[in-house]
Amino acid sequence: MTGTSPGPRHRIGNALRDGRRFMVALSRLRPYIKPHVPSLLLASLASVGYAVVTLLEPWPIQFLFDGVLLGRKVHFLGHTLKSVHGDPIALLIGSVAAILVLAALRGQLYYTQNVLTATAGQDVVMSLRRELFRHLQSLSLRYHHRERLGDILMRLTGDIVMLRDMVVAALLNTLSHTLVVVGVLCVMLTINWKLTLVAAAVAPALFIILSIFRVKLMEAAALQRKREGRLVSSAHEILQAIHVVQANTAEVHEQNRFREMNQRSLNAGIRSTRIEARLHRTVQITIAAGVGATLGLGALDVLAGRLSPGQLLVFAAYVRGLYGPLRQVSKTVQRTAKASACADRVLEVLEEKPEIQSAPSAHALQDVQGAIRLDHVTFGYTPGKPVLQDVHLDIAPRTTVALVGPTGSGKTTFLNLIPRFYDPLSGEVRIDGMEVRSLDLNSLRRHISYLTQEVVVMGLTVRDNIAYGAIGKNGSDPMEEEIQSAARAAYAHEFIVKLPHGYDTVLGERGTTLSGGQRQRIAIARAFIRDARILLFDEPMTGLDPLAEQAVQRAFANLSRGRTTIVVAHHLSTILHADRILFLEAGRIVEQGSHEQLLRRSGAYAEFYRTQWALPTPEPA
């Protein structure tokens, strides 16, 4: 029935599936754990030593109580120690010294175990984060456009850190606690096997409780992390577009939207906390029942003369030693449940396969001339909705082609197919006669400079921003003369030297300290440093004032000279300098030719031209 709670069999099934997921996650982490096996083995030895010391700690109490205070014979692991007698003060000093030595030894072993495991856990996190970042860069644009950036950042930062708990708590702490429990049970059996069975009866009940609550904790933790990811994404989106928010006086609206998302995240966190608190309460009550039953029966044995008071104290200490690790196991379950939910989110990204990657037999692109051919190319971002349809054309080396057409006609998509940001659904893209899918991806992209419509300027110095274009080009950084030469060719040197620290000026995030024209010229200088034979330029004049447009146009003319250039253009100045114009409409090339040729045809381009630049339609003769 709807709304009924799952039965025991369903819960056990969930627990088993959760256990399998947990083991799969651990096996996936094995390559990152392997380098730390020696340290983890040493930590394991420290855990064994810690368990042994823990087993020995209660006995000085019995020596002190029975041998010193009561003057009775001391029982040790089922044997009566007749040799332990004599001066009570000496026995007192020896017992106290033993307590201090064992405490110091246990503290040192605990320190060794925790430092080694924490170091291994931190390094696993660092290695996994590095791998995740590398993998994210290899994933296609389709993935990055589909996923929220804030959620990706949440997985890269917060979720990965939680995996440290899986490595430390699940592996070493579980081993340590298991050794202590097994050792304590063995010693307790030598003291009184009946009381041991009573005390151990709690363990199966705790196992069932922990199995049930672990499933609930994982579900709650997964929901909490998901909502936190959405919250981070929303905050990132709002702050990134803060000028739009302020310009539209939408601060209160965004505050309300953020408050709602924050409340949903809070509710998920409270639900997780409530489950943890219920687990803690249930574990405490169960353990208290076990302690009460054990001590009650033990007190009856003392009254009957079957146990000495010192033996009962030792047994009580071992009961505490038994239930203490069981309490820790419940905490470990809480931590690993959250870590498992985070592991699922991280592994989900790592298991995402890059759509675009080099074929095993791919070869390098060399001696590029810049001839480009699209051979009956069809492409769409979603099935059944083509953005480009049967596009077929040849672009000669060292020529400039302008892509013109209404919004949504496929111009930017056209550019994205050349450096293989996407692969066509049918047809082929060729460079110098070689199909791009047969080329090494890095080699292909090293010979292409792509200047996007939204110019990306990083929070680095001006010098580093320009030199960024040389990354991957060769093994050496560009010289200062090369950087300044590129800046001069891009008509950027004049404004750069006027910045507070010239080329050493650190730019604001996304280049917000520069004007649009200045950012565009920095990007053109970066393309000069790259010196690629193929240049892709997406609407270079968007949002520029006339003076900035003239400067960018001159820089663009310098850059495109001697290169195969494809430019998405909505500005007349860019179109007029093109050797050929392609007019796209609904994903098809409906017209192509020079500006004058297309105007004389009085077709789609001529109509677009008159509409775009508000020219009067000629009267019929």
Q: Which residue has the higher pLDDT, 572 or 432?
A: 432
| pLDDT, average across residues 424-446 | 91
| pLDDT, average across residues 197-201 | 83
Residue 83's pLDDT is 46
Residue 386 confidence (pLDDT) above 80 = yes
Q: Which residue has the higher pLDDT, 257 or 321?
A: 257
Highest mean pLDDT among 59-68, 220-229, 366-375: 366-375
Q: Which residue has the higher pLDDT, 219 or 393?
A: 393
Please report where in the chains the tokens 């574990």 appear, as a residue. Answer: 283
Q: Which DSSP string do the residues of 482-543 spell out, in sequence order?
A: HHHHHHHHTT-HHHHTTSTTGGGPBPPGGGTTS-HHHHHHHHHHHHHHHT-SEEEEE-TTTT
Residue 61's pLDDT is 65
Q: Which bin fits 274, alpha (ψ -120 to 50), beta or left (φ > 0)?
A: alpha
- For domain 454-531, give the fold: Rossmann fold (3.40.50)
| pLDDT, average across residues 82-98 | 64
pLDDT bin (cut points 50, 70, 90) of residue 88 is low
Q: Which bin fits 305, alpha (ψ -120 to 50), beta or left (φ > 0)?
A: left
Residue 93 confidence (pLDDT) above 90 = no
| pLDDT, average across residues 255-281 | 83
Q: What gap in Å lies between CA 136 and CA 356, rounded to an integer?
A: 13
Burial 67-94 (b: 16+ CB within 10 A, else e): bbeeebebbeeeeeeeeeeeeeeebeeb
pLDDT bin (cut points 50, 70, 90) of residue 23 is low
202-244 residue pLDDT tens: 878 877 887 777 777 777 877 877 787 778 777 777 776 676 7
Residue 620's pLDDT is 47
| pLDDT, average across residues 425-431 | 93
pLDDT bin (cut points 50, 70, 90) of residue 81 is very low
559-584 residue pLDDT tens: 888 899 999 887 777 788 889 999 99
Residue 377's pLDDT is 93
pLDDT bin (cut points 50, 70, 90) of residue 97 is confident
Residue 396 confidence (pLDDT) above 90 = yes
Q: How far is CA 233 from CA 91, 236, 276, in A?
A: 67, 5, 27
Residue 399 confidence (pLDDT) above 70 = yes
517-529 residue pLDDT tens: 888 888 888 888 8
In this prediction the pTM is 0.69
Residue 202's pLDDT is 81
Q: Which of 134, 164, 136, 140 is nearest to 151 (CA)?
A: 136
Residue 110's pLDDT is 84
Residue 176's pLDDT is 67
Residue 166's pLDDT is 64
Q: What gap in Å lies between CA 375 and CA 524, rounded to an integer?
A: 30
pLDDT bin (cut points 50, 70, 90) of residue 473 is low
- For domain 26-350, give the fold: ABC transporter transmembrane region fold (1.20.1560)
Residue 589's pLDDT is 92
Q: Which residue has the higher pLDDT, 94 or 148?
A: 148
Residue 157's pLDDT is 80
Residue 397's pLDDT is 93
Q: What is the mean pLDDT of the chain?
A: 79
Q: What gap in Å lies between CA 142 and CA 298, rounded to an integer?
A: 68
Each domain of the chain, given as residue ranges in start order, spans: 26-350, 367-447+535-545+563-621, 454-531
φ, ψ for residue 615, nearest 5 deg: -95, 145
**Is there a contact between 53 and 109 (Cβ–Cβ < 8 Å)?**
yes
242-256 residue pLDDT tens: 767 776 677 888 888
pLDDT bin (cut points 50, 70, 90) of residue 66 is low
Residue 169's pLDDT is 58
| pLDDT, average across residues 160-185 | 70
> Are the folds of 26-350 and 367-447+535-545+563-621 the same?
no
| pLDDT, average across residues 322-333 | 70
| pLDDT, average across residues 116-136 | 83
Q: How many percent of the chain have pLDDT more than 70? A: 81
Q: What gap in Å lies between CA 489 and CA 530, rounded to an integer?
A: 13
**Is there a contact between 298 and 195 (Cβ–Cβ < 8 Å)?**
yes
Residue 430 confidence (pLDDT) above 90 = yes
**Is there a contact between 166 and 336 (Cβ–Cβ < 8 Å)?**
yes
pLDDT bin (cut points 50, 70, 90) of residue 342 is confident
| pLDDT, average across residues 136-164 | 81
Spell out the CATH class of 367-447+535-545+563-621: alpha beta
Please report where in the chains the tokens 């994404």 appear, as a residue. Answer: 233
